[in-house]
Amino acid sequence: MLSNREKITSHRHRGKAMTAFPADSALNVHATEKLTLITVQKLARQKYGALAFLLFLVIISFLWLFFQFTPFQDGPALFSNGMYTLAALIGAFWSLRAAYQATRGPLVLDGRLRLGWILIGLALLANGLGNIYYGAYQYLMRVETPLPSYADIGFTLFYVLCLAGLLLLPMQANRTSPSIHMIIDALIIILCLLGVSWYIVINPILAQAQPGKLLETIMGVSYPCWDILLLLSLILFVHRRATPVLRPAIWLCSLGVLAQVWADSGYAYLSNTNLYHSGMVSIDPFWFIGFLLIGITPLYQYHSIARHTYTHTAQLPKNTNKAAVDIKNSLKFEGGFVLLRSVMIYIPFLALLALALYAQFTLTSGTAHLLEVLCVLVFSLLITHYVLATYENARLIHEKEQSRSTAELLRKATASLSSVLETDLLLSHIVIIGAGELGFDTAALVLIEEYDQPLDKQISLLAQRFLTAWH
């Protein structure tokens, strides 16, 4: 058994080399003989090619919708619907391709990660198929697509499958259950986002709801709620930090989720005020960006894992201190994540507080009272968060001081015992130290199996046992 679980190991098994990532990464991979420098370079070209194609589509979309390069009136809407479907299908292709490579490629990954990529690919595929039905119904029937319709099945499956796939992405596995801080932070952000969504989207939808259209109202309200759940997945990314090799891909995925939420929220708000039209440059391109960024995440992750595995496998025989370096890097203080976690709960609260103050003068009393209640609940959770953080900091400081004082006592006791050379005087001095310096009322010395050890070894063992008993 390896004493250091963070050490990267490699051995041959049935024609494959199994490489274990650090124990807190929740990721195991199997490198085959196909994993060579040429293969890693090929994967890099695929990744950068996909990234370049993504940038090309995004730039074309913004330019086309901004300058309206269309010879007929419905041109922006047709372009927007076509690009929406194309972006979703391309993202699905990238995700499913990465899942296939993770099954039969040069690097075979564990089933959890492959399942997550498959779910993301299927989510984008369902979204693209739903939009095909939406656009075909709209342009063939020459009427607005009803709500709900068969297209909403694909749109809803996108959120369900995408959320499940995001939750399966590898995070640090050093916690078996969510901490109390993570639960409190999640509650704070849920309540804040609920208040903001209520003010911007949900309340206008409910205000315009017509009798006999309950299902239409439920579908309209469900999409902002799904966006809140997608944002909660970003909270998980921050609290359960990903392995450093996967962080660039996680940031891309987070940007994609934010773009998706921006487009959904803008669409819902402008639709309620009858200001939205298909092809708006401030809304539609962000759907394309979201689908492409979420879809490229598995492709990006697969290349990062392959490069990391190949590099560490090739350098393992040459670097004997790699385990020590990994331990040092894993203990590095990451102030950026601490700051991000703090900002992540205070900015939504400030937004909710600003809306609550604004609602006092503009909205009905019912909506204003709801925002006030949410502000009180969030403020109570913030106080609880602060109290728990203060208590844990005080406890950590106390434990640090206790460890320092214990180490100092051990050093003094060892130095005092080292000055005694005769065995009888040494044993008497040990009893005196136990009754005096270590604070015992009485002390007795019982010799055990270590008595036949060398004198310096006996001194160290006896001093440690006294300090352990005293501690």
Between CA 127 and CA 409 the distance in angstroms is 66
Name, of 111-120, 167-176, 420-429, 441-450, the range with top average pLDDT. 111-120
DSSP three-state, residue 22:
coil
Q: Measuring CA to CA, how many Å separate 157 from each of 137, 150, 161?
A: 19, 11, 6
283 burial via Cβ count (<10 Å: 0-12, 13-18, 19+): buried
| Tokens standing for residue 467 | 């300090």
> What is the pLDDT at residue 143?
74
> What is the pLDDT at residue 294?
93
pTM for the model stands at 0.75
> What is the pLDDT at residue 92?
95
Confidence of residue 52 (pLDDT cuts 50, 70, 90): very high
Name, of 250-254, 423-427, 458-462, the range with top average pLDDT. 250-254
Q: What is the pLDDT of residues 396-448, one digit of tens each?
A: 888 888 888 777 776 776 776 666 666 666 666 666 665 555 555 554 545 44
More confident residue, 463 or 93: 93
| Averaged pLDDT, 350-366 | 78
> What is the pLDDT at residue 437?
57
> What is the pLDDT at residue 200?
81
Lowest-confidence region among 207-211, 267-271, 340-344, 433-437: 433-437
Percent above pLDDT 70 for the chain: 71
Q: What is the pLDDT of residues 141-164, one digit of tens each?
A: 777 777 788 889 999 999 999 999
How is residue 29 annotated by DSSP?
Answer: E
More confident residue, 243 or 303: 303
Between CA 285 and CA 83 the distance in angstroms is 9
Lowest-confidence region among 326-335, 365-374, 388-397, 409-418: 326-335
Q: Which helix (H) or strand (E) holds 19?
A: strand 16-20
Percent above pLDDT 90 for the chain: 17
| Averaged pLDDT, 316-326 | 48
| Averaged pLDDT, 192-201 | 84
The strand pair at 28-32 and 16-20 is best described as antiparallel
CA angle 421, 433, 438 (to 5 degrees): 150
| Averaged pLDDT, 187-197 | 86
| Tokens standing for residue 435 | 């009754």
Is 15's pLDDT higher than 50?
no
| Averaged pLDDT, 23-32 | 65
More confident residue, 19 or 189: 189
Tell me the average pLDDT of the chain.
76
Between CA 85 and CA 91 the distance in angstroms is 10
More confident residue, 9 or 357: 357
Coarse DSSP helix, strand, coil percentages of the chain, rounded to the nearest 5 percent = 75, 5, 20
> What residue spans define the domains of the chain?
1-170+242-316, 181-236+341-399, 419-470
The strand pair at 107-109 and 28-32 is best described as antiparallel
Q: Of the candidates 149, 114, 105, 107, which has an alpha carbon nearest to the alpha carbon of residue 131? A: 149
> What is the pLDDT at residue 430?
65
Is 9's pLDDT higher than 50?
no
Is 241's pLDDT higher than 70?
no
Confidence of residue 259 (pLDDT cuts 50, 70, 90): very high
> What is the pLDDT at residue 290?
93
441 burial via Cβ count (<10 Å: 0-12, 13-18, 19+): exposed
Query: Who contacts 384 (Cβ-Cβ below 8 Å, separation ≥6)?
Result: 184
| Averaged pLDDT, 43-71 | 87
CB count within 10 Å of CB 457 equals 11
Q: What is the pLDDT of residues 222-240, one digit of tens each?
A: 888 888 888 888 777 776 6
Is 330's pLDDT higher than 70?
no
Is 85's pLDDT higher than 90?
yes
